[in-house]
Each structure stands twice: as C-alpha cells, then as structure tokens.
Amino acid sequence: MSDYYRPSGFGGFSFFPPVIKNLLIINGVVFLIQILGEKIAASSGLTLSNILTKYFALIPFGGYAAGSIGTEIIEWSFYPWQLFTYQFMHGSFSHILFNMFSLWMFGIEIENYWGSKKFLYFYLTCGVVAGLCHLFISPLLGGIAAPTIGASGAIYGVLAAFALLFPNRLIFLYFFIPVKAKYLITFLIVMEFMLVDSANSGIAHLAHLGGALAGLVFILADKNTHAEIKNLFSRSSYTTKKPFNPFGGVADRFKRSKPETEDAKFYDINERKEEKEITQEDIDVILDKISQSGYQNLTDREKKILFEASKKMN
C-alpha cells in the first residue's frame, strides 16, 4: 500500500513533533543494533541480536525453547518490561519502514492536536494492550509460541484513533486513488479479523487487533475527544475533498469551531484600528503551547488569533 498526502495547512505545525521524532530515532537505532548484532557473538555463544531478543522481545508466558548448545536447552523467559521493549524491535527493513512511515503519516496530526505527553501515553498504552492480547488470546487459537517484535500493535491504535478523529480525511493510495480515512482504516482492521486464524503466518494479527481496540477505547473514554468526535460525525460540512494532511485538519477545526454569526463579530472586532495587530511572536508562542499540551488546551483568544492568522495566509 502506498499512501500520499500534500501538506497545505497552517505552516507552523511541525512535520516531526517531539514524540514522533524521538520514536523514529529510537526505532531506527535499535534496528541498526539488531542488524550489526547478528555478527557480534557473546561469551554465552549467542549473538548480540539473540541476546536482545531474549531479554527485550515479547516472550510467551510459558517460555520459548530457543535452541541448544551441546546438550543444554536454551530457554527464554517472559519479563514484564518486554511489553514495552518489544515495540521498538523489528524483524526486517520492510517491517520497520512500513511501521515508521505509518506512525509519521497518521501520528503527526494527532500529536499536534493532543500534545506530546498525551500522545506518548496513548501510543505506549496501545502497544502494551496489543502485547497482552497476543499473549493471552493467541495460544487459545493455536498460535505459535515464539518471540514477538514490532510496533504494529501501537500503530494500529494510531490508525484507529485517526479514523475516529479525522474520518473524512482523504488518503491517496498509490498517489492517485482517494479514499476516506474511515473506509481505508476500517478495511485494514477487517482484514486483520479475517486473517486472525492464520496462526502460522508469522504475523501477530491479534496484536494488531488489540492495538486497534485500545485506540478505540482510549478515544471513546476521553471526554474532550469524545465530544469532538460527536461534532465531526454530526456535521455534514466536515466532509472534505482535500487529501489527508497533518495541518489542514487543524485549520478546518479553527474554521468550524465557532458559528458563522460569531465569526462575523470576530471580523468586526479585528477590523477596529485600536485592536492589537497579530505578530509572528504571538503565533510562535501559541504553536509552542500546542506542541506541549495540544490544541484543546488553548484559550478562546489564542484560538481566535490562530484562526485570523490562518485566514490571512490562505
């Protein structure tokens, strides 16, 4: 699947907000260590890559027979921290490429909207729930007891959140086929349901579904976000012909955040000569606040300043 969007919104929002930037770096560094570790042997007879897998991949509750050295069976065990660390390991270049591209593509607007702290908590929670679903449910369906690695569970949580927050955002498949986010992401999740019986596929479909479920529950349990979703689905004017972009959605919310009558009053106020002119410094301060705590925590005045600035730029 190839997805594409053209950024065309308010220019102050970062393509690489703090959490996503650091997640990309950490995942990349860990993957590089995994690759180089294949050639580095430890005194135990295991390679560095094997040691990373032994202690940081998600090992089944019952342990995993990793092989043998002479007559000694090598048994790997589950450790609680693996529910976090497995999310930062990947099995191949295509594996990490797809996950990190999806994280960047669908996560940047969510982080800009929520703020970095909330987004990080959400991301890690989805990954942990995904791991627990895989550990508890997969054995019941005859899944292979093997180590699990990858950020896919957390990524599916991000996908589910994006589909709920921005359901009508257009995503271009293969650069020219427009599909609304809610349809594309629903299709991907349904496919995971259909493939969940593929126990020997080497793909943790239950982890994907667990992550998506965690994303869904997180969004619906959040009061502020839940109210926003109700507004999105209740207003037909939200349907857009623009492709998905990480900035346009925030600009759209500025435009629909107040009734037209109130917008008219806002224009009248700003047309008065005595009103203070909006400066780039004012905008930068507000954008820094969004990066730290999310758009939802802006005051009405700050939202109006961004609204007016975005109108002048269009």
Over the stretch 78-130, which tens digit does the pLDDT of each residue have?
A: 999 999 999 999 999 999 999 999 999 999 999 998 999 999 999 999 999 99
Question: Which residue from 244, 294, 284, 306 is spatially nearest to 104, judged by alpha carbons?
Answer: 244
- Interhelix angle 181-195/205-221, rounded to 10 degrees, is 140
Task: Report whether pLDDT(227) > 70.
Answer: no
Rounded CA separation 142/200 (Å): 9
- 3-231 fold: Rhomboid-like fold (1.20.1540)
Higher pLDDT, 54 or 128: 128
Rounded CA separation 77/59 (Å): 6
b/e map of 70-103 (b: 16 or more CB within 10 Å)? eeeeeebeeeeebbebbbbbbbeeebbebbbebb
pLDDT bin (cut points 50, 70, 90) of residue 255 is very low
Percent of the chain with pLDDT over 70: 69
Q: What's the whole-number average pLDDT of the chain? A: 77
pLDDT bin (cut points 50, 70, 90) of residue 224 is low
The predicted structure's pLDDT at residue 190: 92
Tell me the range of 8-12, 74-78, 150-154 where mean pLDDT is highest: 150-154
What are the residue ranges spanned by the domains of the chain?
Answer: 3-231
Higher pLDDT, 285 or 200: 285
pLDDT bin (cut points 50, 70, 90) of residue 226 is low
Residue 38, CA atoms < 13 Å, CB-side half-sphere: 7
Distance of CA 258 to the CA centre of its chain: 28
Q: What is the pLDDT of residues 151-172, one digit of tens each?
A: 999 999 999 999 999 999 988 8
Higher pLDDT, 141 or 314: 141
Rounded CA separation 151/89 (Å): 7
- Interhelix angle 205-221/152-165, rounded to 10 degrees, is 40
Percent of the chain with pLDDT over 90: 40
Continuous segment of H or E residues that includes residue 76: strand 72-76
Task: Report whether pLDDT(185) > 90.
Answer: yes
pTM over the 0.75 mark = no
3-class SS at 64?
A: strand
Higher pLDDT, 282 or 15: 15
Question: Which residue from 158, 99, 162 is spatially nearest to 129, judged by alpha carbons?
Answer: 158
Rounded CA separation 143/177 (Å): 36
Sort residue 142 into left (φ over 0), alpha (ψ -120 to 50) or beta.
left
136-140, 213-217, 267-271, 291-295: range with lowest mean pLDDT: 267-271
Say what the alpha-carbon torsion angle 230, 220, 164, 96 is, to the nearest 10 degrees.
Answer: 160
Higher pLDDT, 118 or 282: 118
Where do the H-state alpha helices sit in 38-180? 48-56, 82-85, 93-114, 116-137, 152-165
Question: Which residue from 222, 99, 237, 87 is spatially nearest to 165, judged by alpha carbons?
Answer: 222
Work out the burial of residue 158: count CB atoms within 10 Å of its CB; fewer than 13 is exposed, 13-18 middle, 19 or more buried: buried
